Structure 1
């Protein structure tokens, strides 16, 4: 297929290169993303007015696409704030302490639970469930917030979503585009996803162990007090000390801070720790049971809808909406219990606090996502101000297709080319949008390279979903994981890069040899 690359294509490609280099240098990429958006729109349209307006439009489109994640983070955070006032958050996690006593056990339980829930219901509803119930337990057990974020992202957004073995939307798209049987793609994707996830979790375990600390309730209090730090610059100095990054901190003593570099917001009041860790009120005990029970009932409802006809199955974004709705109702009930007279005011305050937290933590993602959305034909028309019935340019996919003409028909080269195409297609932050491209490529090149097209389709699916599904790019659903773990999303994406890429390379080699 002969594709003509315009000047806008090359400007967009240059923007991608600059952003990747900036990320490699551990610098913030908002300014390069905004400038690249301006130049791409300007060159494509020939109008500086369109270029300037695209800066606003790109962030607006990104906000429209990602606001559901922001809202879930805000509502669950607001609910946890109300529970924290009565001390129910400490009681709620107490039963899990019997299993999640230390770093290793917490690491394993967190990975297994996240994987199982995400496999059945996709990561969108899984992350809030894990964030509300298990993440605080893991923090108290000594896991660093960055470790928690990496485990949840790898097990849910990566390992479970990349195979999509239960719901089978991803294998269906890949197989249809490749012209092969969906079950064959699904089976191979499951094996490859387990290899990638196993390698990534193993590397994460080895590299993050030095950031873990002795279990203590002070760790949980310190972590909760660090919400305001999410607006800090995205570098390893901030991330390492504030969020359990590269440098280990000493085990927490009874009095001092449990987190590294001393800052004003991290000074702990031991009296508040004692009260928070030993709540005795009936309301705290009631809500400590009510919150997990409510989400457990929701999980049972989803299972019944999926495997029986007793209740109607959930569709589309219903699951995520119900998670947020449950959080809102529990928030109102907790505020009414805490203070009947001021419940209306306190409910509003907690919601505002949740929204502020969500945007402080994740707002940086919007202009970055906007740049990659301008390369997607589904969004570019809106960003460029084109008429509603107009078809926008698919700059990213055009660049990928143009480069495919240089691929040699060799099994090794073709397999890694399909993987690379999947990774690049995932840069726009949508885990499934590149599957038609990698599937079509697999069907076209499989026979010439002497490989089963279903194997190539599974490889491309790995690259696309592990990249755009929420482990390697910060403008994807990784924002939800970072929000609940309370770590900088750009740092989380950077920390996941080496473990995930190592897993992808090894899984591709396995596919070439075994399949």
Structure 2
């Protein structure tokens, strides 16, 4: 039966086009998304009241679907805040400095440590943490500042954030929009992110190795002299505060370089930081204890996760259990850290950290709600509640209807479709936000996948790669790449340009892999 398109369908399609154009112009897309939601609902129902109420209902439905993501971000952020008070966050990475003796070892350690920290806690703490503790050591070991910036961006903002395998914010959004299982998207995203990341790191290693020098304290002193040039002032104290993104779209893992990376901008102070015998963080017993307990707890969780997935020794985790355990561990560790930091007022400090975590979560991800609401109204599973239809009435599937009409005029081709979704993801990331385009790529994956006999979860993972590697902080200079460039003390435009070839090569290779294997 032929699908009949109404005025609401064409308004919805126009909304998608306007959002893509707005992203390409590096402007905020909330207003176009909200306006398109209202006009679509108005045109479908014929009632301005329904159109106006859909603005609220769309964000409400999106919040109901995605609040678990907000909560886990809040709990992990709260835990990190408590650890930061005692200096345990920096002690967790200090041991790695002892093996950073030359260029190659520093390259590998930077990549591995940044990836692991970003995988568990997002790049928000990873960038200032690695910037304060490991970057000076890597520079002294002979790595060029540009190499340092590329490694951190690729391993953290790219490889770790694009898979988001532990916290599962990104695959959760993609899966919800595509109507598939979160774990399926997460597993495929992890495989694709490793292909992109390893490819980009190998190309970076080959391209940048000739710029490395012999280890010398003079390299560190020369690098320190660039502090004023790149606007890094010596403030001491904590790392820079997280920023919701230069375009206001919320950069997951993004931060603005508004203060020094936790150290004075003098060669002497940083030389002391670089020496393993005098780390900046206090070596209290509590800090050392928590610096051991936190990674151990999550390592045990990873082992359990792997045993449940690949063996029958333990029951596998179902649905959102994994994310719930990550949040539960974070909450308990945060309470224990607050009790250690301040026994008398630990109840108040625990609450304060949770509030800080929730504030950060909504700063980083809140902007996704009205955007996701627009794409949810194109999905028949969500459009009914958004427009206030009775429970026994099926909602319209605007996006699926448009796809059904379009596919009758084109020859289904998995290769064209896969690279098309990748391109949409890359374009959607041009706004400098790592996650705002995921509802779009996820919706397209759910609608287009069956038409070419391709798993929607695979398509959603491909779109997720394009969106996050582009906007998460590797390809565009107005993303959280600004923070990486600030800590590495290199021009952000140069860093973005140098990352382009390695990252694009990895994205193309991973997409081919997905088509052939998945």
CA change 1:325–1:149 in 2 (3 A) is farther
CA change 1:469–1:42 in 2 (3 A) is farther
CA distance in 1, matches of 2:266, 2:85: 22
CA distance in 2, matches of 1:487, 1:192: 25
CA change 1:353–1:508 in 2 (3 A) is closer
Give the C-alpha shift of residue 254 in structure 1.
Answer: 2.1
1:221-262 deviation digits (Å, cap 9, x = unpaired): 9895432533654499xx999359xxxx9x98328999xxxx
Partner of 1:360: 363
Give the C-alpha shift of residue 436 in structure 1.
Answer: 5.9
CA change 1:196–1:282 in 2 (3 A) is closer
CA change 1:159–1:333 in 2 (3 A) is closer
CA distance in 1, matches of 2:79, 2:6: 50
- Matched residue of 2:85: which SS? helix
Partner of 2:434: none
Q: Which runs of 5+ in 1 are unaligned?
A: 115-125, 165-169, 177-186, 259-269, 444-456, 477-481
- Matched residue of 1:348: which SS? helix
Check whether the contact 2:119–2:161 (CA below 8 A) recurs between aligned residues: no
User: Within the alignment, does 1:155 sit opposite 2:155 as a pair?
Assistant: no
CA change 1:415–1:9 in 2 (3 A) is same
Partner of 1:63: 63
User: Within the alignment, does 1:139 sit opposite 2:149 as a pair?
Assistant: no
CA distance in 1, matches of 2:56, 2:46: 18
Check whether the contact 1:86–1:284 (CA below 8 A) recurs between aligned residues: yes
Give the C-alpha shift of residue 139 in structure 1.
Answer: 3.4
CA distance in 1, matches of 2:256, 2:207: 17
CA change 1:389–1:310 in 2 (3 A) is same
TM-score, with length taken from structure 1: 0.67
CA distance in 2, matches of 1:499, 1:398: 38
Partner of 2:286: 283
Partner of 2:243: 229
- Matched residue of 1:406: which SS? coil
2:394 to 391, 394, 409: 391
User: Within the alignment, does 1:464 sit opposite 2:460 as a pair?
Assistant: yes
Partner of 2:76: 76
User: Within the alignment, does 1:374 sit opposite 2:384 as a pair?
Assistant: no
Check whether the contact 2:233–2:265 (CA below 8 A) recurs between aligned residues: no
Q: How many residues align?
A: 435
CA change 1:28–1:498 in 2 (3 A) is farther
1:428-477 deviation digits (Å, cap 9, x = unpaired): 6287766565443234xxxxxxxxxxxxx37x76543222478359999x
CA change 1:152–1:310 in 2 (3 A) is same
Give the C-alpha shift of residue 2 in structure 1.
Answer: 2.3
CA change 1:353–1:48 in 2 (3 A) is same
Give the C-alpha shift of residue 49 in structure 1.
Answer: 0.6
1:338-353 matches, within 5 Å, as 338-353=341-356
CA change 1:190–1:289 in 2 (3 A) is closer
1:334-367 deviation digits (Å, cap 9, x = unpaired): 1111111111111111111111111122211211
CA distance in 2, matches of 1:469, 1:219: 35
TM-score, with length taken from structure 2: 0.67
CA change 1:467–1:321 in 2 (3 A) is same
CA distance in 1, matches of 2:304, 2:9: 47
Give the C-alpha shift of residue 399 in structure 1.
Answer: 1.4
CA distance in 2, matches of 1:113, 1:156: 7
Partner of 2:452: 442
Deviating more after overlay: 11-20 vs 137-146: 137-146
- Matched residue of 2:91: which SS? helix
CA distance in 1, matches of 2:370, 2:470: 11
Deviating more after overlay: 308-317 vs 420-429: 420-429
Partner of 2:296: 293
Deviating more after overlay: 128-137 vs 338-347: 128-137
